[in-house]
Structure 1
Amino acid sequence: MKSYIAALVVFFFIWCYIGKAAKGERLGASFIFGDSIVDAGNNNYLPSLSKANIPPNGIDFKASGGNPTGRYTNGRTICDIVGEELGVPNYAVPFLAPNSTGKAILYGVNYASGAGGILNASGRIFVNRLGLDIQVDYFNITRKQIDSLLGPSQARDFLMKTSIFSVTIGANDFLNNYLLPVVSIGSRITQSPDAFINDMITRFSGQLIRLYQLDARKIVIANVGPIGCIPYQKTLYQSNEDECVELPNKLALHYNAKLKDLLTELNENLPGATFVLANVYDLVSDIIINYENYGFTTSGKACCGNGGRYAGIIPCGPTSSLCSDHSSHVFWDPYHPSEATNLIIAKKLLDGDTKIISPMNLRQLRDL
């Protein structure tokens, strides 16, 4: 009798859930892939050197009472904020977390991993991380669970019509692979930047097609931001406050141009798919250049970190120097934006024009 009542409760929840989604009241679910920019805690469950489950990370994250969750920022990630704005009542649960089961996955799942990249070799100096190949493998597991919860037909509608997939990846393929000091010198001698980027695009194309084959239809892809402007790079190369390191930004722009062509090709060749390009490079560049107009006091120095002029060498941790006003810095730590920056980025992606996100913004994609 108890199992019968439990089954009725689950059925009622699913029926209401699908009914609301069908009426367009909110997003069906948010499935998040990527690196540390959007990791919500997967690396907590890996024996990895890349972790953010130590204070003061998460100090402004209200949902945890200011305790670290594994997010590489002081508060919410871009995907957390977007999910809130699009009507998802709960944050997407990290795939590796013990509670990523049952009806919780119908709000979305986060597969992102600090140090993860498009290429499997990227981030290897951090020992363990989830590259995008593994993240898509894990979504395949979730896909089967959704079939079990909703039934195959309803599951397809849920994924294809009401859910959004986002992929924020590529920076580690440069910073923690091709551009890695000392370790990468050999590969740079044997492989040109163009060849390396072509490898990234070829692999990424296959990964996105796999997601499509697993019924992803509304897919947002972020290009690589101005990685030559992060405090780590500025400290490493002793740049001036208003200067960025040229080579990383050139590589990012080269990759971004090829990524734009790839998404155009996929939109033309995959029936029913809508691949949306988030132009993070130009958006973040504008914030960095015009930081005072956005209410920041610095775009060069990390709020939390140690080492050099920009606190850009040692990651954020209990012994780090910490700025008094966390919303005054574009960057939270040597690599990652602050919540204040994430808020600006999220709002632009939600409601921005085609210079920032094309062919449509995230609210338009939700309602498509």
Structure 2
Amino acid sequence: MNSFIYVTHFTPRMIAFVFVGLSFMSALCSGTEFPTVFVFGDSLLDPGNNDYIITLSRANHPPNGIDFPNQVPTGRFTNGRTIVDIIGNEVGFTGFLPPYLAPNTTGRVVLQGVNYASGASGILKETGALFGGRIELDEQIDYFANTKKYIISILGTQNAANLIGKAIFTVSMGSNDFLNNYLIPILSEPKRALIPPDVFVDKLISKYSLQLTRLYSMGAHKIVVVNVGPIGCIPYVKDILNLGRYGCLEIANQIVQRFNERLKDLVAELSTNLKGSLFVYADAYRIVNDIYTNYKRYGFDVPDAACCYLLGHHGGILPCGPGPVKVCADRSKYIFWDAYHPSEAANVIITGPFGSLRNLRNLWKLQFLGINLLGSV
């Protein structure tokens, strides 16, 4: 039975259900304590893959990681944990999903899962070229193919197929295809003059469809697809365009919303056409936009500026190091850690704490029955 779960509204504590609920479903079905998880994405989810390539998009330097265990800058583009880290802790992982390129990502640790996410990467190969090295989504999927072969070498063909078929695949891509491709100031003006926004969105969706279908053909049957957030409101954009505290680049958010609408349709289409698949469309745009709009309600004092900064009214002109930077006094009061990325405090709210086993069981039952979840939970 094919299932499509569309989450259209998030409360502060609820977005994690698409990940945690699916993870719990996998654990119950497989009879194992924890599920296997494979993650594909950009700098929002990168656990340090970019530490191992030649690139300008790196975060393996202080003050990044100042709130991570042991205050270690691991290559995560935030002060602490990413969304994937927090969700993993909620489901019971004692550590963190390892970056694919880390030399110690070998042996049976791979059976718990692998994170392929890479800063500056996108759906399209050319996205993020200004940064030099990055692992675009096609290459991330190539790396998963290597992981699959490795798992087969450990478990054998049938057991490997069972593990991958029950695993959770999380894919979060698209932000850089706008920020570091189609919407680059000045450099992308010729492209925008030749390619209307709708045509560019069509190109993205067509490519994304091939990539998600390829994952399915490699054995991925439970796939969470996360949409793109309101990129027009990040400190980088606000400083580049000299926007006020509550101003956002609406044209950027409008293009992203067109992409998200098409992505929702694509996920529904794939769920219908790909036998035995379970797709979840996670509407991150809505919760992030709500946090930004109602920041006081979520406990933040500063909605528009980077906690780690050097230049710019909003701290959005330069990245968070390397080199001398300033860090805000109370990181828990800032939505943004740097010019592009949320703080750990924001990531915690985006994922939402999930401590109730009963709630997890209820979510699992709904998903197991293939019920479309419309509205809040």
TM-score range, shorter chain: 0.7 to 0.9
Post-superposition offset of 1:348: 7.4
- 2:305 aligned with 1:301: yes
CA drift at 1:306 = 2.1
Checking the alignment, whether the CA contact within 8 Å between 2:90 and 2:354 is kept in structure 1 is no
Cα drift, residue 345 of structure 1: 1.0
Report whether the alignment pairs 1:235 with 2:239: yes
Counterpart check, 1:43 vs 2:50: yes
Is the CA contact 2:90–2:353 (under 8 Å) kept in the aligned structure 1? no
* In 1: Cα distance, 2:164 partner to 2:367 partner: 13
CA shift for structure 1 position 26: 3.7
Matched-pair contact (CA < 8 Å) for 1:297–1:329 = yes
Matched, 1:67 2:72: yes
Question: Which residue of 1 is the match for residue 105 of structure 2?
Answer: 100
What amino acid does structure 1 have at the position aligned with 2:97? A
8 Å contact kept, 1:26–1:88: no
- 1:112 aligns with 117
Q: Which runs of no fewer than 5 residues in structure 1 stay unpaired? A: 1-18, 352-359
Q: What's the counterpart of residue 137 of structure 2?
A: 132
Task: Specify the code of the residue in structure 2 equivalent to 1:30.
Answer: V
Deviation of 1:44 (Å) = 0.2
1:367 Cα offset (Å)? 11
Q: Does 109-118 or 151-160 show the bigger shift?
A: 151-160
Q: Which residue of 2 aligns with 1:15?
A: none
Superposition RMSD on alpha carbons, in Å? 2.2
Partner of 2:171: 167
1:325 matched to 2:320? The reply is no
CA deviation after TM superposition for structure 1 residue 95, in Å: 0.7
Using the alignment, how far apart are the partners of 1:308 and 1:296 within structure 2?
A: 20
What is the CA deviation profile of residues 53-92 of structure 1, one whole-angstrom value per residue up to 9, with x for unaligned ones?
A: 0100000001xx1010000000010001111212333311
CA distance in 2, matches of 1:362, 1:244: 38
CA deviation digits over 1:237-283, x for unaligned, max 9?
Answer: 11111121111101110100000000000000001111111111001
1:33 aligned counterpart, secondary structure:
strand
Identity %: 48
| Aligned mates of 1:41, 1:364 — CA distance in 2 | 35
Corresponding position of 1:83:
88
Structure 1 residues 146-177: Cα deviation after superposition (integer angstroms, max 9, x where no partner)? 1111111111111112x111011100000000
Amino acid in the other structure paired with 1:40 = P
Closer/same/farther in 2, CA of residues 361 and 345 from structure 1, 3 Å limit? farther
1:26-37 equivalence runs, <5 A: 26-37=33-44
1:178 to 172, 179, 182: 182
Number of residue pairs matched? Answer: 339
What is the one-letter code of the residue matched to 2:98?
A: V
Measure the CA separation in 2 of the matches of 1:300 and 1:128. 29
Determine the C-alpha separation between the residues in 1 that align with 2:180 and 2:355. Answer: 30
1:27–1:366: 8 Å Cα contact kept in structure 2?
no
CA distance in 2, matches of 1:146, 1:224: 31
Alpha carbons of structure 1 residues 52 and 233: separation in structure 2 relative to 1, 3 Å: same
**AA at the equivalent of 1:38:** L
Give yes or no for contact 1:350–1:363 (8 Å, CA) kept in 2. no
Q: State the Cα deviation string for residues 165-216 of structure 1 (Å, max 9, x = none).
A: 1011100000000001121111111111111110000000000011101111
Q: Structure 2: give runs of 5+ residues left out of the alignment.
A: 1-25, 357-361, 371-377
SS in 2 for 1:52: coil
Counterpart of 2:223 (choices 219, 226, 232) is 219
d(CA) in 2 for partners of 1:349, 1:221:
20
The 1:66–1:190 alpha-carbon spacing in structure 2 relative to 1, beyond 3 Å, is: same
Bigger relative contact order, structure 1 or 2 (CA pairs below 8 A, ≥6 apart): 2
Given that 1:92 and 1:108 are in contact with CA atoms closer than 8 Å, whether structure 2 keeps it comes out as yes
SS in 2 for 1:93: coil
Q: CA deviation at 1:326?
A: 1.0
Q: Distance in 2 between matches of 1:66 and 1:348?
A: 22
Does the residue aligned with 1:71 lie in a helix, a strand or coil? coil
Which residue among 155, 162, 186 is the counterpart of 1:150?
155
Letter in 2 for 1:156: A
| Deviations 1:272-326 (CA, angstroms, capped at 9, x unpaired) | 1111111110010000011111111111000001222100111112411110111
The equivalent residue for 2:256 is: 252
Deviations 1:121-148 (Å, cap 9, x if unpaired)? 1000001100000000000000111111
CA distance in 2, matches of 1:323, 1:110: 30
